């Protein structure tokens, strides 16, 4: 093997490989032998397509040129289409947000009034699509509406109570169940199940998701009343039975609408997702409580299940396989890969992954996934410890998994270790873990990052002088707070990160308008706390060098956040680089920008950590 310092290993995994691997698939839907899904090809300029695989295996795009399936409900969108059994497909068009029916032609179904639509389901009689409508305003107004499929552009209102609505679920006899929550709550903190206008369960300190009718008198839902999102049966009077009480999660936070974390099978059993940190596929008998895992090559799945008969589709993830739309026959056990996001190229350069735990000064456990430097042709000189970069996920109510990521291999194959951190406040580990961030954003997440970094050093895994931290959005916030409040890290990389909480509160969109109330505190009462927590105003000569990357059309974290910080960094003589991308929003989609960002990042680490990249 070739002996070379960490960071100077040659690797065939390039930034272009990472960018070209960024085909993204999501929200599959199965009817018989046909499968549909959303797809963002790397060469589409970020355009979301709807793809279709016919019974004979032929794969074709559904939408004609000039159309894009992408709803903007809650800004984060979600599933943007719905196939109609018997022919045709309804989709939300990105440019005008109208619903269209595509078949032999493209027919508009909603008026041209700026309204947005999402979370689609067919009405009991098959003549309408029932969905969430969002009418822009200050604030936006949401309702559940029925949209006629006959092209008349007739839209009638079914439900108009609740600031936010999701999971419209009609029963065969025409009753309607749905989930709602009100400002300032987020849906993972408090959400209600309602049926025909009446609250059944949820709200307060209970979060309820994903109703499915069991019969005309009862439903199945996911509730965290036990401290974990577990499946329950509930009747219309609110009587609840926990179907499988266990310290595992059966869903994820509701950032996007249109997905389902469990579905009903023809024999009355439920196909479910469950686990801690990652969600496995299983079958639950609601009468006995027996839960049996389904054997597949994938270790986790997206909460976007679709079922027809005993066929289930989702997006599967694994440390060893690229993410893929898969169709699983629950009778034979056959797992059919419908569409993989990429071929595994240079697989021998991909790192191993280890689930790790650290214990903080407060005695609480911190979770993460560790990816040591790995290259089949290189090793470091004896006695040298590697640089490590902590990756901090966004949300902040979200979590990282062990899913294969070419982006991590780009760094680890060059000799830079990665620790993907699920700090306190992350989902996937129960409500108590999730609630650790309440009132403590910028405190708990940063303390856990420092705990993890110090643990790597104490365990002899990492060089204490070459520790970095990188994250996007809420993760970028953690990077910037850590950089301005701690001296543990030598380098920070912020992708569209928050630098000023007051500015975020003023400029953020409606879905997250009350998020900071729980993460920090309500305004104006907590104004001083917002100033105290924000990186802006706390830059000093001890602040580590920073790389700031920002999309200029980002509606979630506007570029003003980065611009405000740049002046302060310059004033204190802190080394920094700012890269802005004119056509990027919240999360970079264009391959050329992904490539430029990664190349800037590796050059930044080389400069700060003191190596010469090859």
Mean per-residue pLDDT for 437-446?
97
Distance CA 119, CA 219 (A): 19
Q: Do the beta carbons of residue 178 and residue 211 sit within 8 Å?
A: yes
pLDDT at 21 over 70: no
Distance CA 262, CA 282 (A): 10
The band of 29, judged by pLDDT with boundaries at 50, 70 and 90, is very high
pLDDT digits (tens, 9 = 90+) for 162-178: 999 999 999 988 899 99
Of 561 and 11, the structure prediction assigns the larger pLDDT to 11
Distance CA 267, CA 290 (A): 14
> Percent of the chain having pLDDT more than 90?
89
pLDDT at 413 over 70: yes
Mean per-residue pLDDT for 219-240?
97
Q: What proportions of the chain, in percent to the nearest 5, are helix, strand and coil?
A: 15, 35, 50
pLDDT at 556 over 90: no
Mean pLDDT, the chain, whole residue set: 95
> Percent of the chain having pLDDT more than 70?
100
pLDDT at 360 over 90: no
The band of 587, judged by pLDDT with boundaries at 50, 70 and 90, is confident
pLDDT digits (tens, 9 = 90+) for 57-102: 999 999 999 999 999 999 899 999 999 998 899 999 999 999 999 9
The band of 460, judged by pLDDT with boundaries at 50, 70 and 90, is very high
The band of 269, judged by pLDDT with boundaries at 50, 70 and 90, is very high
What pLDDT, on a 0 to 100 scale, did the predictor assign at position 338?
Answer: 98
Backbone Cα Rg of the chain: 24
Ordered domains of the chain (ranges, CATH) = 351-609 (3.40.50.1820)
Mean per-residue pLDDT for 103-128?
96
pLDDT at 508 over 90: no
Distance CA 223, CA 380 (A): 49
pLDDT at 447 over 90: yes
Distance CA 300, CA 307 (A): 17
pLDDT digits (tens, 9 = 90+) for 132-157: 999 999 999 999 999 999 999 999 99
Q: Do the beta carbons of residue 280 and residue 271 sit within 8 Å?
A: no
pLDDT at 23 over 90: no
Distance CA 156, CA 144 (A): 9
What pLDDT, on a 0 to 100 scale, did the predictor assign at position 557?
Answer: 83
Of 507 and 199, the structure prediction assigns the larger pLDDT to 199
Q: Is the dihedral of CA 557, 563, 568, 573 positive or negative?
A: positive
pLDDT digits (tens, 9 = 90+) for 365-411: 999 999 999 999 999 999 999 999 999 999 999 999 999 999 999 99
Distance CA 409, CA 372 (A): 10
Which has the closest alpha carbon to 440: 523, 359, 535, 518?
518
The token duo for 416 is: 């830079």
15 conformational bin, left if phi > 0, alpha if psi -120 to 50, beta if neither:
alpha
């Amino acid at each position: 093997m070739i002996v070379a310092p960490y960071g100077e290993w040659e690797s065939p995994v390039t930034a272009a490989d990472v960018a070209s691997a960024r085909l993204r698939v999501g929200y599959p839907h199965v009817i018989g032998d046909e499968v549909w899904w959303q797809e963002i090809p790397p060469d589409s300029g970020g355009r979301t397509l709807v793809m279709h695989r016919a019974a004979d295996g032929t794969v074709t795009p559904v939408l004609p040129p000039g159309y894009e399936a992408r709803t903007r409900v809650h800004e984060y969108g979600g599933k943007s289409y719905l196939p109609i059994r018997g022919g045709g497909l309804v989709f939300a068009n990105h440019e005008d947000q109208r619903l269209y029916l595509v078949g032999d032609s493209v027919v508009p179904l909603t008026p041209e009034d700026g309204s947005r639509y999402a979370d689609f389901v067919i009405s009991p009689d098959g003549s309408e699509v029932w969905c969430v409508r969002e009418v822009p305003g200050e604030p936006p107004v949401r309702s559940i509406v029925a949209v006629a499929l006959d092209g008349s552009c007739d839209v009638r209102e079914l439900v108009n109570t609740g600031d936010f609505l999701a999971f419209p679920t009609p029963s065969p006899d025409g009753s309607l169940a749905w989930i709602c929550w009100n400002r300032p709550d987020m849906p993972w903190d408090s959400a209600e199940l309602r049926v025909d206008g009446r609250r059944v369960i949820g709200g307060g300190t209970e979060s309820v998701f994903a109703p499915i009718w069991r019969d005309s008198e009862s439903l199945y839902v996911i509730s965290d009343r036990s401290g974990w999102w577990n499946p329950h049966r509930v009747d219309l009077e609110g009587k609840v039975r926990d179907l499988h009480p266990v310290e595992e999660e059966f869903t994820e936070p509701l950032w996007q609408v249109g997905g389902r974390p469990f579905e009903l099978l023809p024999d009355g059993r439920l196909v479910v997702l469950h686990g801690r940190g990652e969600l496995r596929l299983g079958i639950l008998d609601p009468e006995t409580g027996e839960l049996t895992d389904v054997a597949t090559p994938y270790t986790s799945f997206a909460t976007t299940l679709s079922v027809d008969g005993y066929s289930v589709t989702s997006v599967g993830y694994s440390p060893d396989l690229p993410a893929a739309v898969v169709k699983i026959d629950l009778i034979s056990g056959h797992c059919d890969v419908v569409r993989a996001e990429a071929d595994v190229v240079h697989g021998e350069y991909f790192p191993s992954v280890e689930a790790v735990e650290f214990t903080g000064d407060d005695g609480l456990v911190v979770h993460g996934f560790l990816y040591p430097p790995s290259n089949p042709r290189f090793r470091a000189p004896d006695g040298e410890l590697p640089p490590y970069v902590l990756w901090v996920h966004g949300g902040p109510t979200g979590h990282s998994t062990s899913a294969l990521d070419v982006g991590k291999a780009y760094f680890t194959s060059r000799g830079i270790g990665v620790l993907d951190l699920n700090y306190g406040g992350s989902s996937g580990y129960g409500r108590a873990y999730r609630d650790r961030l309440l009132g403590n954003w910028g405190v708990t997440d940063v303390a856990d990052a420092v705990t993890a970094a110090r643990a790597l050093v104490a365990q002899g895994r990492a060089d204490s002088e070459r520790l970095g931290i990188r994250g996007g959005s809420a993760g970028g916030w953690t990077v910037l707070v850590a950089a301005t409040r701690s001296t543990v890290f030598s380098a920070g990389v912020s992708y569209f990160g928050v630098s000023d909480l007051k500015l975020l509160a003023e400029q953020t969109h409606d879905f997250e308008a009350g998020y900071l109330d729980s993460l920090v505190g309500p305004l104006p009462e907590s104004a001083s706390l917002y100033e105290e927590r924000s990186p802006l105003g706390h830059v000093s000569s001890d602040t580590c060098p920073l790389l700031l990357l920002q999309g200029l059309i980002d509606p979630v974290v506007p570029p003003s956040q980065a611009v405000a910080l740049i002046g302060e960094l310059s004033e204190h003589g802190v080394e920094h680089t700012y890269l802005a991308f004119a056509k990027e929003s919240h999360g970079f989609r264009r391959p050329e920008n992904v490539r430029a960002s990664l190349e800037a990042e590796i050059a930044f680490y080389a400069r700060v950590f003191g190596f010469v990249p090859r």
